Amino acid sequence: MRTSTSAVLLSPLAALAALNLFLADVRDGLGPFLGVFLQEKGWGPAEIGLVMTLGGLVGMAATMPMGALVDASRAKRAIIVIGSAAILAASLTILAIPQFVAVAAAQAVNGVAAAALLPAIAGLTLGLVGPAGFDRQLGRNEAFNHAGNILAAVLAGVLGWWFGLPAVFALLGAMALLGALSALAIPAAAIDHEAARGGSGAAVGEGHESIGKLLREPALVTAAITFGLFHLGNAAMLPLFGQAMVATAGADPSGLTAATVVVAQGTMIPMALVAAWLGQRSGYRLVLLLALAALPIRGVIAAAAVHYGAAWALIPVQMLDGVGAGLLGVATPGLVARILAGSGRFNLGLGFAMTAQGIGASLSTLLGGVVAQRLGYPAAFLVLGGVAVLAAGAYLIGGCPGGTAPRRPVAGPGTAAAAA
């Protein structure tokens, strides 16, 4: 009864927008604030990198099972609610017990929950709007997601300045509650579950490819390797940049971290809309190339900023973060959906791509932390930026899949919702 009453107040797509807005602060847990929080507790860069890597690897192992779960489940809203609650509980554990074992276990829980949230939201979106409206809605989803990150970062900066970093945890709890209510406001009847899994409209049990055949899809493998290498170079830059500025300039950790997030997320909003526009019209090849080009430029500017103490460089460094991450946030589910159209395994394929991303992101924090501790922060940024060259090479060697057209005919359930 509660769901149907909420649905009267919000249309399905309005509830989806609210879901992306509020879960922005929940999906990544403490995000860049975790490194600063642990740094205040006396942790070194290598220790921070290691604990984030351990948690990330556990979460990475869960991405394909979680994707398969979303494909098979008709309870996508419940998956979102349970995942949000798990991330909140893990984050409160870090606040209460900032010891290595407890933090590593909490990060593992965060990783598993986040591995469920992304395919659940993507599948929910595809089930609401259908293939015809998916590219456009992805841009809207990511725009609201980045707007939510800005809102959360501003509030976290203000609350952290007044009450210290523990206030960030309270904000995370409020966002988790609002995100859960938004998920429940989407009527279950509005979700086409066959469309949500990228199915062709065949009868149940027909037209769904085997996992082995799915993972031998050359375009999917190439895309996953490219995504993984991009995140290997990109994931550690934001938290490492915050740590570097705190360590070298003595900046306020809450305010500085919030500022880095706001600049990056503000750039991601138009980039997400541009990526959706390009993907809808010409596929995702140009989107991926632009994202890869931003990473080495960002690494060079970040290294120079830390070396020379140029605080103004925060703006271009984080704007370039917004370019890369904003484009990839749309391209990842958009390209996977096109490659696997009609397979009935969209969320499993997205889980495969997320596994590659998780490996890259987890190793990124370890790579960045070790290089920073041994050679200094500027060297770490140059190494991370240089990984984009490997990503570009993998993408070019693999034939540059751009998803200009689905490989299979696709049924279009959900068109009415897309037009709403």
pLDDT in tens, 253-295: 555 656 666 777 788 899 999 999 998 888 888 899 899 999 9
Summarize pLDDT for 383-417 with one digit per residue, the tens: 999 898 888 888 888 777 766 544 444 444 343 33
Give the model's confidence band at 247: pLDDT under 50 very low, under 70 low, under 90 confident, else very high: low
Q: In the CATH scheme, what is the code of domain 2-197+209-402? A: 1.20.1250.20
User: What are the extents of the domains in the chain?
Assistant: 2-197+209-402
Contact (Cβ atoms closer than 8 angstroms) between residue 317 and residue 302 = yes
| Max intra-chain CA distance, the chain | 63
pTM (2 d.p.): 0.78
Tell me the three-class secondary structure of the chain, residue by residue. Answer: CHHHHHHHHCCHHHHHHHHHHHHHHHHCCCCHHHHHHHHHCCCCHHHHHHHHHHHHHHHHHHHHHHHHHHHHCCCHHHHHHHHHHHHHHHHHHHHHCCCHHHHHHHHHHHHHHHHHHHHHHHHHHHHHHHHHHHHHHHHHHHHHHHHHHHHHHHHHHHHHHHHCCHHHHHHHHHHHHHHHHHHHCCCHHHCCHHHHCCECCCCCCCCCCCHHHHCCCHHHHHHHHHHHHHHHHHCCHHHHHHHHHHHHHCCCHHHHHHHHHHHHHHHHHHHHHHHHHHHHHHCCHHHHHHHHHHHHHHHHHHHHHHHHCCHHHHHHHHHHHHHHHHHHHHHHHHHHHHHCCEECCHHHHHHHHHHHHHHHHHHHHHHHHHHHHHHCHHHHHHHHHHHHHHHHHHHHHCCCCCCCCCCCCCCCCCHHHHHC
Contact (Cβ atoms closer than 8 angstroms) between residue 85 and residue 176 = yes
Nearest-angstrom CA–CA distance, 228 and 327: 15
Give the model's confidence band at 203: pLDDT under 50 very low, under 70 low, under 90 confident, else very high: very low
For the chain, give the percent of residues with pLDDT over 90: 25
Mean pLDDT for all residues in the chain: 81
Closest-CA residue to 359 (of 397, 387, 338)? 387
Nearest-angstrom CA–CA distance, 403 and 279: 8
**Which pLDDT does position 20 carry in this prediction?**
93
Summarize pLDDT for 104-156 with one digit per residue, the tens: 888 888 888 888 998 999 999 999 999 888 989 999 999 998 888 788 877 87
Residue 34, pLDDT above cutoff 50: yes
Closest-CA residue to 214 (of 408, 399, 413)? 408
**Residue owning tokens 């140029």:** 310
**Which pLDDT does position 206 carry in this prediction?**
47
**Which pLDDT does position 310 carry in this prediction?**
67
Region 157-166: mean pLDDT is 75
Contact (Cβ atoms closer than 8 angstroms) between residue 287 and residue 227 = no
Give the model's confidence band at 159: pLDDT under 50 very low, under 70 low, under 90 confident, else very high: confident
Beta bridge partners, 343, equal 199
Residue 9, pLDDT above cutoff 80: no
**Which pLDDT does position 1 carry in this prediction?**
39
Summarize pLDDT for 326-371 with one digit per residue, the tens: 999 899 999 998 888 888 889 999 999 988 887 888 788 888 888 8
Summarize pLDDT for 60-117 with one digit per residue, the tens: 788 899 999 999 888 899 999 999 899 888 888 888 888 888 998 888 888 888 889 9
